[in-house]
């Protein structure tokens, strides 16, 4: 029989429900409530609720389904065994209007199968119990978010200390209540924090070696009640963070992941030759060197420019931006104006990244990086408008390329001269999206009526019929020439 699954939400201790005086619940059978958790409440009067349970429920019933002769047969044994098989956490039996007391055979069955049985008094509604579950769950979720946020802040503060690596490991071990170890490229233990345990230590070292051998991002295991997880740091640098914790909650995984990102930054390429070369390139640029003169220090070209924005609400933070750069395989990351820009060697073809929308430029040499940056920005705008995870700039010869560049640019500037920048960008986006008001509004983060007003204004200033495909084509050529 498959293992029951439970939703990734903070569970509610059954003891917390029993402690609610307004509910008046009373446990009358089954194991102690300590250690039992509930993931949601579900009401059912089905004789066999198994097909309707996902696992982790507090199943509520008034006993409408119970036949008159149920106490003399195997009805209650069958009923309770099916709840246990489905992964039900507990059973709540409501008194009145069907039953004045909980059937003794049901109490015996719950004792036999180890299912906590709660008596729900007449004045307590099932909807009230369900509401209490969700209230406790919301409090648990808020507390978990606060715990994770505080842990992230403390880890960031530890990374800024004079001894950043040991400080991050100490703070991580404290937050997860376990042990944290950093292994070097040769599998040697570089630093550790938390109470040592020889058996756990050997298992962590073996798990770290497995991550390196397989080239995987992470691996997990369990030994002696401890949950073990190993995280590869950076892009193939050989450093591994291994964590042993008494539990494996989503919040603890998030905290460990943040520590892994910070340690990746602390142990990454900036500690080695490539990092020194990047520092040298930056200094030369600040002192007036051209991009083409210093590009060789960064690696072999050509390059892609990648623009990315997170799919969820809010903009990216520095940690998320660094993590994206690591996932794409480049430490050359810039975070500005809610967009992450990554300079990526053309040999490392970027792929879709979960939780991000990406626009990718054509391969470009250093002298063409500004053009590539514009291409990536436009590709990102189109990707957001079309809800595409990754969109590449299509760089192929066009009819417009047959016209001498200086003449084409002069004509384009003259044609578009009446338009100011917001109108120009609106027209460019609107034409690129085939005149779609809604998709243009999404790409520009404005209302569709604003798009209509701007396009109408463009038509008036240009004295052109924007419904004419020839006019649209000429304007598109002009917009491409003006960048």
pLDDT tens profile 93-133: 999 889 999 999 999 999 999 999 999 999 999 999 999 99
pLDDT single digits (tens) 139-156: 888 888 888 889 889 998
**What pLDDT, on the 0 to 100 scale, is given for residue 279?**
66
> Encoding tokens for residue 26?
């009373």
pLDDT confidence tier of residue 299, bands split at 50, 70 and 90? low
11-34 tens-digit pLDDT? 899 999 999 999 999 999 999 999
Residue with tokens 């039996």: 93
d(C-alpha 269, C-alpha 175), whole Å? 28
Between 474 and 106, the higher pLDDT residue: 106
Evaluate whether 94 touches 120 at the Cβ level (below 8 Å): yes
Query: Cα separation of 139 and 12, whole Å?
Result: 9
Over residues 264-282, mean pLDDT:
63
Q: Give percent above pLDDT 90 in the chain.
A: 37
Give the C-alpha separation, 71 to 229, whole Å.
Answer: 49
- 61 φ, ψ (degrees, to nearest 5): -150, 150
Q: Count each helix (H run) and each strand (E run) in the chain, helices first.
A: 16, 17
Q: How far is CA 9 from CA 63, 146, 177, in A?
A: 29, 15, 21
Residue 6 has pLDDT above 50, yes or no: no
pLDDT tens for 363-401 read: 888 878 888 888 898 888 888 878 888 998 874 545 555
Residue of 47, 50, 60 lying closest to 1 (CA atoms): 50
* Mode of pairing for the β-strands spanning 189-193 and 333-336: unpaired
Q: Render the burial of 272-282: b for 16+ CB within 10 Å, e for the rest.
A: eeeeebbeebe
pLDDT band for 482, please (50, 70, 90 cuts): confident
Helices (H), 70-117: 75-85, 104-113
Q: In Å, how far are 149, 155, 260, 261 from 168, measured between CA atoms?
A: 15, 6, 9, 11
Spatial separation of the C-alpha atoms in residues 404 and 410, rounded to whole Å: 10
Which DSSP symbol is given to 364? B
> What integer pLDDT is reported at residue 252 of this predicted model?
85
The pLDDT value recorded for residue 237 is 64
Angle of helix 164-176 relative to helix 126-159, nearest 10 degrees, comes to: 160
- Terminal-residue alpha carbon distance, the chain: 62
pTM of the predicted model as reported, rounded to 2 decimal places: 0.47
Enter the DSSP assignment of 217.
S
CA distances from 229 to 136, 209, 246, 338, 361 (A): 29, 12, 11, 32, 37
Q: Provide the mean pLDDT of the chain.
A: 85
Which stretch, 83-97, 149-163, 416-430, has highest mean pLDDT?
83-97
pLDDT at 169 over 90: yes
CA angle centred on 49, ends 48 and 53, rounded to 5°: 150
CA dihedral 68, 70, 71, 74 (to 10 degrees): 170
How confident is the model over 302-349, as pLDDT tens digits?
888 999 988 877 777 776 777 787 778 787 888 877 888 998 887 778
Evaluate whether 439 touches 395 at the Cβ level (below 8 Å).
Answer: no
Average pLDDT, integer, range 209-224: 85
Range list of H helices, 224-348: 250-267, 273-286, 291-298, 318-328
In 114-254, the DSSP E strands lie at 117-120, 179-183, 189-193, 218-223, 226-232, 240-245
What's phi and psi for 28, nearest 5 deg? Answer: -120, -5
248, 249, 251, 255 alpha-carbon torsion, rounded to 10°: 0
């Amino acid at each position: 029989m498959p293992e029951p699954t439970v939703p990734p939400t903070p569970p509610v201790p059954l003891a917390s429900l029993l402690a609610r005086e307004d509910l008046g619940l009373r446990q009358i059978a089954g194991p102690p409530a300590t250690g039992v958790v509930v993931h949601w409440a579900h009401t059912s009067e089905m004789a066999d609720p198994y097909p309707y349970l996902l696992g982790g429920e507090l199943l509520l019933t008034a006993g409408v389904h119970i036949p008159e002769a149920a106490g003399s047969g195997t009805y209650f044994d069958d009923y309770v065994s099916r709840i246990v098989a489905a992964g039900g956490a507990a059973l709540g039996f409501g008194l009145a209007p069907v039953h004045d007391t909980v059937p003794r055979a049901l109490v015996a069955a719950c004792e036999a199968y180890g299912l906590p049985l709660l008596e729900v008094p007449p004045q307590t509604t099932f909807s009230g119990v369900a509401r209490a579950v969700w209230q406790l769950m919301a409090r648990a979720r808020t507390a978990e978010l606060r715990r994770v946020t505080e842990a992230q802040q403390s880890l960031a503060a530890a990374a800024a200390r004079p001894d950043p690596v040991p400080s991050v490991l100490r703070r991580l071990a404290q937050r997860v209540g376990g042990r944290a170890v950093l292994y070097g490229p040769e599998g040697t233990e570089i630093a550790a924090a938390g109470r040592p345990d020889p058996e756990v230590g050997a298992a962590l070292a073996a798990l770290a070696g497995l991550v390196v051998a397989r080239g995987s991002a992470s691996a997990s295991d369990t030994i002696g009640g401890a949950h073990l997880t190993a995280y590869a740091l950076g892009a193939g640098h050989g450093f591994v963070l291994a964590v042993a914790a008494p539990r494996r909650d989503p919040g603890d995984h998030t905290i460990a992941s943040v520590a892994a990102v910070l340690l990746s930054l602390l142990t990454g390429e900036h500690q080695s030759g490539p990092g020194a070369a990047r520092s040298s390139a930056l200094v030369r640029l600040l002192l007036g060197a051209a991009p083409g003169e210093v590009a060789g220090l960064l690696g072999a070209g050509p390059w892609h420019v990648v623009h990315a924005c997170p799919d969820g609400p809010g903009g990216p933070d520095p940690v998320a931006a660094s993590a994206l750069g690591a996932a794409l395989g480049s430490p050359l990351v810039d975070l500005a104006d809610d967009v992450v820009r990554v300079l990526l060697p053309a040999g490392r073809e970027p792929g879709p990244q979960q939780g991000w929308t990406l626009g990718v430029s054509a391969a470009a040499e250093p002298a063409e990086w500004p053009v590539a940056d514009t291409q990536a920005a436009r590709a990102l705008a189109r990707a957001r408008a079309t809800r595409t995870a990754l969109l590449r700039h299509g760089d192929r010869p066009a009819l417009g390329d047959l016209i001498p560049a200086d003449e084409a640019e002069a004509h384009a500037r003259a044609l578009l001269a009446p338009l100011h920048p917001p109108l120009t960008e609106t027209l460019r986006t609107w034409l690129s999206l085939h005149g779609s008001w809604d998709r243009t509004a999404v790409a520009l983060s404005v209302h569709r009526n604003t798009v209509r007003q701007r396009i109408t204004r463009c038509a008036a200033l240009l004295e052109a019929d924007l419904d004419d495909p020839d006019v649209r084509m000429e304007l598109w050529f002009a917009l491409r020439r003006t960048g």
